[in-house]
Chain A
Amino acid sequence: MQTGLEPGPRPPSSKPIAPRADAAAWPVRIANVSRAYTAQDGGSGGSVQALAGISLQAGAEELLAVVGPSGCGKTTLLELICGLQRPDTGTIECEAAALMPQRDLLLPWLSALDNAALALRIAHMPRARARACAAAVFDELGLTGFERARPYELSGGMRQRVAFVRTLLSGKRLLCLDEPFGALDAITRAEMHAWLGEALEREPRTVVLVTHDVEEAIMLADRVVVLSPRPGRVVAELDVDLARPRSRTDADVVALREQALIALATATAAPTLEQVR
């Protein structure tokens, strides 16, 4: 457990990183950040506090999972990291980040390959070269044969894979994944977990993964941060120092999941008691 006001936490234990300047070692540094939405954004009078004094860090090439109940400001957190919003108070120092949104948002008028190559095209790479680059990643990550498919011809899992490749090809070293597997069935989700693990092994990146699924967080992450219900605060931080690939039924995984669930339950119960008084 960590209050966030402490200076630098120790680097993730699962992936030792070479000694570097502090800024390089911590691509994401969020200190004491709050963010509220005013009523005109859809609240019913007054403002809605999405995040209240949140502090967290992610180390280089670390996979940090942020878990919390629905509506605890997880998406807001990612949009802050990606620079799509500004915090009301607090400081955010992040590398340039690429966002993989909750819905895949593949453009229906482009093929899978062109969707994946979108960032390259935006960076003014000629179409043929952008396609060649994307095709190479398709090969590497087992998507060969789907290059020409339109998004509506792809299954949910495939669409998420293409969306991930698009995020990867943005060339940014920090990826923000917003509930990437939330809409998938359990079997596909398990496949995607394995696939993402392999993909990141081949193409190491710093990842901030937001999810409401505690098990998913434990299966994928190097470190898990648990948020309270709105307004989101960090209520627990767990190191997941386990070898990959992990099994859902592994005793250590189960123990960590319980730990995270208890933290969530405690955080969820507290405001209710306050309301009663």
Chain B
Amino acid sequence: MSAAKRGIGGPSREHIGAVLAPLVLVAALVGAWELYVQLGGVDRFVLPAPHEVAAALWNNAGYIAANLKPTAEEVLLGIVLALLVGFGLAVAVHLSPLLRRAVYPLAVGSQAVPVAVIAVLLIFWWGFGILPKLVVITLICFFPVLVTTVDGLAGVDPDELKLLRTLDASRWQAFRFAELPAALPAAISGARIALTVAVIGAYIAESQTATTGPYGGLGHEINADLTALQTPRAYAAALVLFGFAIGCFYALGLVERRLAPWAYRSKRAAR
């Protein structure tokens, strides 16, 4: 309430700073980059200047947008799958210590398996469509969700569970009324980590599992452009991935505010 009131008096100095700070940082980095290339520090095929990247982005906007579409689909569907798998596993592992012993080492180990090893198998099973890519992204992204959710479920106030017991709550009701909502913010934090990994996961997936059709996704495009020495366009595509990841990250912040407003509130209060 008081925080909302404080915000009424127009943009504060703090507010302007929050918007300006990242812009100033980006401008400084881009400036340094441009200067470095202009001064001949590096071959243009190795590192194009920012203005060349901007030009490549402008001239190939349609092509890059067409490639963003499959990549965005992979990332968003992949993250949903990773959330389902990670959250589901976390609940199972939380409810059964035996399962925890069995599953946890495997989950950790799964993160060390290079995708190339199973890529051929995935294509053998599911062909050249989106499915093998979703499997790769899910495999890479379920882990942060699993770990944070398990911690969230275990971090429920034991006194809250005790209270529910005096109210004659069953195990399922204790889970539904206390543990599940308590774990939700943790799961969303895991999803935020997973999301940033999902973008690079999509690149790996596209690199490892071939695609038929003209637009194979930004990862596919970047690989092709690099081989063809179309470095500015590869950088332009990477820039789009960069922006896409940032956009998704903040979009998830909005989702958190809707799904778990109490966590958002207490985080703000803690500042």
Contact = CB atoms under 8 A, between A and B. Distances in A.
Q: How large is the interface on A (under 10, 10 to 19, 20 to 34, 35 or more residues)?
A: 20 to 34
Contact of B169 (A98, A101, A122): A122
A153 interface: yes
B163 A150 contact: no
Given A97-B166, A107-B181, A152-B266, A122 B173 contact: yes
A31 to B, nearest CB: 22
Interface in A98-141: 98-99, 101, 103, 105, 107-109, 118-119, 121-123
A98 B164 CA distance: 10
Interface in A254-277: none
A98 B162 CA distance: 11
A29 B125 CA distance: 69
B181 A109 contact: yes
B93 interface: no
Contacts of A82: 166
Nearest to B160: A105
B14 interface: no
Interface in A158-196: 170
Contacts, number: 56
Contacts of A18: none
* Interface residues of B, dominant DSSP: helix
A241 B269 CA distance: 46
A21 interface: no
A202 to B, nearest CB: 21
B101 interface: no
Given A105-B159, A107-B181, A118-B177, A150 B167 contact: no
Contacts of A122: 164, 167-169, 173, 177
Q: How large is the interface on B (under 10, 10 to 19, 20 to 34, 35 or more residues)?
A: 20 to 34
Contact of A152 (B168, B178, B182, B265): B265
B159 A101 contact: yes
B165 interface: yes
A118 B167 contact: yes
Nearest to A153: B1
Contacts of A101: 159, 162-163
Contacts of B72: none
A251 interface: no
B260 interface: yes
Contacts of A118: 164, 167, 177
Nearest to B174: A122
Contacts of B162: 79, 84, 99, 101
B262 interface: yes
B222 to A, nearest CB: 42
A120 B261 CA distance: 24
B265 A99 contact: no
B173 A107 contact: no
A107 B163 CA distance: 11
B228 to A, nearest CB: 53
Contacts of A152: 262, 265-266, 269
B157 interface: yes
Interface string B142-179: 00000000000000010110111111110001000110
Interface in B97-122: none
Nearest to A151: B262
A217 B55 CA distance: 79
B266 A108 contact: yes
22 contacts: A79-B162, A83-B166, A84-B162, A101-B163, A103-B159, A105-B160, A107-B160, A107-B178, A108-B262, A108-B266, A118-B177, A119-B167, A119-B168, A122-B164, A122-B168, A123-B168, A150-B265, A151-B262, A152-B262, A152-B266, A152-B269, A170-B167
Interface of A: 79, 82-84, 97-99, 101, 103, 105, 107-109, 118-119, 121-123, 150-153, 170
Interface of B: 1, 157, 159-160, 162-169, 173, 177-178, 181-182, 184, 260-263, 265-266, 269
Question: Ordered nearest first, which 10 A-B pairs have the shortest CB separation?
Answer: A108-B262, A109-B181, A99-B166, A119-B167, A122-B169, A82-B166, A105-B163, A122-B167, A109-B262, A122-B173
